[in-house]
Chain A
Amino acid sequence: MSLKSKDLLTIEELSSTEIQLILDTASSFKEVSTRSVKKVPALRGRTVVLFFQEPSTRTRVSFELAAKRLSADILNVQTASSSLVKGETLIDTLKTLESMTIDALVVRHKCSGVPLMLANMTNATVINAGDGFHEHPTQGLLDMLTIKEQKGKIEGQTVTIIGDITHSRVARSNIHGLQKMGAKVRVCAPPTLLPAGIEKMGVEVYHDLDKALKDTDVVYVLRLQLERQKKNLFPTIREYSQLYSVTSERLKHAKKDAIVMHPGPMNRGVEISSGVADGPASVIDEQVTNGVAVRMAVLYLLKGEKGENNG
C-alpha cells in the first residue's frame, strides 16, 4: 500500500483508505519517539527542505523532529534568510532549490495554493505545512489520529469546531478528513467568522455554543486571531469570550466523556479557559505528540524505502 500522489497537498484529495494508511503508519512510528535512541534510518541520505514563508514554530519544529528521527538531512529556508525578501519570484526560488537536488519540500505559505503550484513545477515531493486559509493536512491527520486513539474510532463521532472558521486552514482540513472518515462535523461561530457557503461543505452550522455542544464527542477549539477584531469580525475580545469561550461550565453541554482539542497556540481565557485546557477532557498535549508521528508517517510513505515506487 502506498499513497497515490507524490505530494501531500490537501486532505480533500486523499481517500479514506489513504488517510487510514497514514494513521496506521503514524501509530507504529509513535514507538520510535519513546526509545532512548529516537532514530530510524528510513530517510537516510535524503534531503528535506523546510520552506517556511510564514512564522511558525510548532509545525516547523514538529516536521524537523520527524525528519531527523527518520535520519533525513534537513535544510531550513525561512523568509528572513531566504532570497524572497530580495524580490526573487517563488518559481525562481524553487528552481534554485531543485537544482541542488532536494528530495522533499515542506511548504508553509501565507497564500493559499502555493504548495500546489510548487508541486506542479517540481519532481520533488511537496508536503503542505499550511497554506493561507486553504488546508493544513498534517494538522488534520494528527487530529484524526488523536480522535481515533481517544475514542477508538472516528466514524460516528460528532465533532464541533468552534471559532474563526473563515480564516482557518485547520478547520477546512478537519472538515474534509473527518467527513471522509465518517464523523459528523458541526461548526460554531458568529456569522462574521463563517465563510460563505460553508454549509455546502456538509457541516451543520451553529451560532449558539451551548446548542452546538449538545451531544458532542469532540470539542475542537480554534485559536482566535486577536487582530481580527479591528476588522469588525467581532466587537471585543470580551464579548467573543462571553459567547464562545469553552469553559468548564459550558463544556457540561457536551457529552460526559467529550474530549477537548486545540491546534495551538492557545489564547487562554479567550477561546478556552485554563480550567478546560488543563482539565481532564483536554487532549491538547497528545495532539502535539501525535504531530511528530503523523509527520514521520507522511515523510516515510512519500519518501521512505517502501514509498519509493509510487512515482
Chain B
Amino acid sequence: MKSILIQNGHVVDPANQIDGEADVFIQDGKIAKVGKGLKVKADQTINAKGKIVTPGLVDIHVHLREPGFEYKETIATGTLAAVAGGVTSVACMPNTNPPIDDQAIVHFIKSKAEKEGHCHVFPVGCISKRREGTEMSEVGELKKAGAVGLSDDGAPIMNAELMRRVMEYAKMHDLVVIDHCEDMDLSNQGVMNEGHASTVLGLRGIPAASETVMVARNILLAEMTGAKFHVAHMSTAGSVELVRQAKKKGLNVTAETAPHYWSLSDKSIKNYNANFKMNPPLRSDDDVAAIRKALKEGIIDCIATDHAPHSSTEKQCEFDEAAFGIVGLETLFAVTYSHLVEPGVVSLSRAIELLTTAPSKIVGINKGTLSEGAEADVAIFDITTEKKVDVNNFKSKGRNSPFNGWNLKGWCELTIVSGEIKYEGN
C-alpha cells in the first residue's frame, strides 16, 4: 500500500484539538503522523495548501436501498456518493427489502460493501421484525453480526410498550435506539409542515407536534429504562426544548439534524416541487431558527443527511403521491459550510466535530479522528471556490435534491478511505 503525505493543509481534527496548518502522513492504511513540516518520505505527496484537511466525515443516517430497491441506489452507488462528499463512514438504515431485521441481511450488506463499496458501511438493524412495529427483532444476533444501532427508520414505533421493551433489551446489548419520531395519527397523511404555507398551497399538513410528542414519549421511556436513545432527523423547536431538558437531567439522549432543516423552511416549497418533500417536512422559520441555535449550543449532537434517493418517476408526479426523502451525501459539507459555518452559526472546527467524532460516538464506532494509529480516513475540502450544485453530476442514482442550482462553497477534492484514495474531484 502506498504511503501518502498531505502537505500544508489546514488540518481540522477536533478529537485532537488540531485546527491549523499541518501535514498528515499516511502509511499502511493508518494515520502515521500529524504535525508541522513532517520530514518523511512518501510514495505520493499531495499539496493541500489553502485547503481544509479533515477526518473523513461520518454520516449515521443514510439509505443505501440495497437489498430490494436497487433502482433507487445500491451499496456501490451510495458509497460512491458518500466519498464524493468526503464521507468515509455511513450507517445505513434498515428499510430495505428484506429489511435488516435478521443477521443474514447484516452479513449480506457488509460483504457487499467490502466487495463493491467505496467506504465503510455500518448497518443499523430493525427494532421490529419486518419493520412492522409489533414484535422485537433478534437484537442480540443483529449486534453480533455487526449492527451499530436499532431503528425502524421511515416508520416510527407507535407502540409504546414495544419501545419500552426494546430500550430495556437494547441497553443490555449496549445498542443505541434510534427513532424516527412521528405520531402517525397526528400526521394524518400530511405531506408538508402544517402552517400558513400548507394552507395556501392546499396541501395536507403534518403538525410540528407530530414529531414533538413522540420525542417526549421516547425521552420518558429512555428515562425509565436508562437506554441510549437517539432522535433521528430532528426538525422542530419543541423537540429541541425536550432534548435540552433531557440533557440537563443527564439522560442518555442524543439528537441529529440534517442540512435541509437549517437551510430551508416550508416557505421554500415552490411549484409543488417534490424535491422539497421529505419526512419530517421542512418546518417553519421559527423551527429553523431553533435548530440553528441548538447546533450552536450543542443540544443537537451531530449532523446526518437522511440521504434518501428515489427514482425520477417517484418524484416527478403529484406532490401528494411523491415519495418522501431527498439525497444529501454529495451536498452535506457544502451546505454545512456555506449555511452554517460561513454565516457564523458554528465554527469550522465545531462543524467538523458535528460531522465526525460526535456521530461516531453515538453509534459507538471508532471513526472520525486523525489520531495516530487510526485507520486513515481523510477528506480534503476546498472552501474558497463557489460552485453550482448540478444534480446531473451526482454519483448517487438519486437526483432528488432541493439544492440543485445553489451556489455553494465547501466542495470535496479528495477522499481517502483506509489509506486509499477513493475519490478525486476536479
Contact = CB atoms under 8 A, between A and B. Distances in A.
Same complex:
yes
B202 A117 contact: no
Q: Which 9 A-B pairs have the closest CB atoms?
A: A113-B272, A134-B202, A197-B196, A133-B202, A111-B318, A195-B199, A112-B202, A111-B320, A200-B196
Given A113-B201, A117-B271, A198-B199, 4 more contacts: A90-B317, A135-B202, A201-B196, A201-B200
Interface of B: 194-205, 207, 271-272, 313, 316-321
Contact of A112 (B196, B201, B207, B316): B201
B271 A109 contact: no
Residue among B195, B196, B197, B202 with the highest chain A CB neighbour number at 10 A: B202
Contact of B272 (A91, A117, A196): A117
A114 B317 CA distance: 8
A169 interface: yes
Contacts of A169: 202
A196 B195 contact: yes
B203 A132 contact: yes
Nearest to A53: B318
A134 B313 CA distance: 23
A110 B318 CA distance: 10
Contacts of B205: 195-196
A111 B271 contact: no
Contacts, number: 69
B200 A172 contact: yes
Contacts of A197: 195-197, 199
Contact of B271 (A91, A116, A134): A116
A196 B194 contact: yes
B contact patch SS: loop
Contacts of B195: 196-197
Contacts of A120: 271
A89 interface: yes
B324 to A, nearest CB: 15
A165 to B, nearest CB: 9
A239 interface: no
Contacts of A308: none
A90 B274 CA distance: 14
A198 B194 CA distance: 11
A113 B271 CA distance: 7
Nearest to B200: A201
A164 B271 CA distance: 25
A116 B271 CA distance: 7
Contacts of B319: 111-113
Interface in A186-221: 195-198, 200-201
A109 B272 contact: no
Nearest to A110: B320
A18 B321 CA distance: 33
Contacts of A110: 320
Contact of A89 (B196, B203, B317): B317
Contacts of A90: 317-318
Contacts of A201: 196, 199-200
